[in-house]
Amino acid sequence: MGKLKGFLEYNREVSSAASPENRIKNFNEFHTPLTRDKQREQAARCMDCGVPFCQSGLLLNGMASGCPLNNLIPEWNDFVFNGNWKEAFLRLKKTSSFPEFTSRVCPAPCEAACTCGLNGSPVTNKENEYSIIEYAYANGYAGPNPPKVRTGKKVAVIGSGPSGLAAADQLNKRGHNVTVYERNDRIGGLLMYGIPNMKLEKHIIDRKINIMKQEGVEFITGVNVGVDVPAQKIIDEYDSVILACGASNPRDINVPGRELKGIMFAVDFLTETTKSLLNSNLQDNNYTSAKDKNVIIIGGGDTGNDCVGTSVRHGAKSVLQLEMMPKLPDTRAENNPWPEWPRVCKTDYGQEEAIAVFGHDPRVYQTTVKEFISDENGNVCKAILVKLSFTKNDETGRMQMSEVEGSEYIVDVDLVLIAAGFLGSQQYVTDAFGVEVNQRTNVKTESGKYQTNVDKVFVAGDMHRGQSLVVWAIREGREVAKEVDTALMGYSNLA
């Protein structure tokens, strides 16, 4: 497991990032990977720690600790250290469907749980994974490998996000005939249009999709099942159906003036930009531009940060990111010990870029919108903001939020992006297939299972568990594939 005492001999090094001033000039990925020799040194830091929390995939206090895919991290780190990149790739692929995606967009819960990080810096597992998969592509290890035998069973996967793709990939490897339906014009779901190009360049998705096509997976785009094609027709034509449509209902806000022009959901803003970028390099103007606009982003999560980075690239006049919750501490609190996910304040790429351009952090904590104000044409032109305070309820023990009296203030705004998360599955899909949903509108199944109340119909990903990480969606896609395979064949040999 790496070099004996390597964690003492080598300091943590990560790929270099282009300066914010340079990278905002385009929508390209902006990290330069370490050399192979440097990456081997980083893999050498992996300790013979006895209990590799990095691959545990546990939930501690509701947060992921370790890799949800249970990646065999110490093993492929050891292969990298010894220069055996092909074996590292084969070990990685035993548990991971799409390391080319996760090595770019995963927040790396494996590193947060790394034993080496308990009293120092964690091993660079995410960048090691990136090096493994890119080396595999460069050297022909990651090419198509179609199944030698077909079972004759047909499976439909509705949705081509990470969970749907993972399910399709696994079931195709088993020999089933898999067809993936996607309502958008391109395959990838959240990966394609929910994540900006500078975090995941779209040719990386196309590269993998082309391999899956060569392996026998059929993809059908521009078909909205439940609208363009009746759900019952899909159920009748296929031996099994997997719903992997994501948590597609963006959470709205309910304040006076919400109906004004210039207020939109963040996911629509990001989708428009990526689609225009891919279609015309933004020359068709078929997107909402933040250029020369005062932008307010409501939400402090990853999507909010992506909106910051995108708005800066558009040429926004100003960017303000509102976060209702208090600022997290800069270091772990006593009630947030390792190996829990560290609840600490992080400055992500978009905020770094806003700081470089505007000279200050765009985030404002414990603040929300109280009202939007219209100009004479029905466009949003100002917003009334208010500060929030939190007090503990003596009966429930929960924190209660309330407005701070007299704290209102007015700011200019031309574009408002709502990045407040997602609520669950879309009703037209669940109604079309007749599947039951829970109070959060996620599709209901038995605990730990993926079979819905409808015969032959299964569910996976955010549509099943609610909004979550790409790595959790991939895990659910692999697990639902195993359950579907068992239902079709009476047993499964899928991992």
Question: What's the token pair of residue 50?
Answer: 């006895």
Q: Find out if CATH 3.50.50.60 is the number for domain 154-249+423-489.
A: yes
DSSP label at 55? G
Predicted local confidence at residue 399, as pLDDT? 79
Segments of the chain with pLDDT less than 70: 1-2, 394
Predicted local confidence at residue 48, as pLDDT? 84
**CB 384, CB 369: distance < 8 Å:** yes
What span, in angstroms and rounded, lies between the C-alpha atoms of 224 and 248? 13
Predicted local confidence at residue 1, as pLDDT? 61
The reply to whether domains 6-138 and 154-249+423-489 share a CATH topology is no
Q: Look at the pTM and tell me if it is higher than 0.75.
A: yes
Strands 294-298 and 318-323: parallel
What span, in angstroms and rounded, lies between the C-alpha atoms of 225 and 345? 41
Q: Find out if CATH 3.40.50.300 is the number for domain 263-418.
A: no
What span, in angstroms and rounded, lies between the C-alpha atoms of 489 and 175? 11
Predicted local confidence at residue 159, as pLDDT? 98
Q: Find out if CATH 1.10.10.10 is the number for domain 6-138.
A: no
What span, in angstroms and rounded, lies between the C-alpha atoms of 229 and 161? 19
**Omega of the bond leading into 326 within 30 degrees of 0 (cis):** no
CA 72 to chain centre: 21
For the chain, give every domain's residue range: 6-138, 154-249+423-489, 263-418
DSSP label at 467? S
Q: Where are the alpha helices (DSSP H) in 114-230?
A: 125-138, 162-174, 202-214
Find the helix or strand (DSSP H, E) in which 157 lies.
strand 154-158
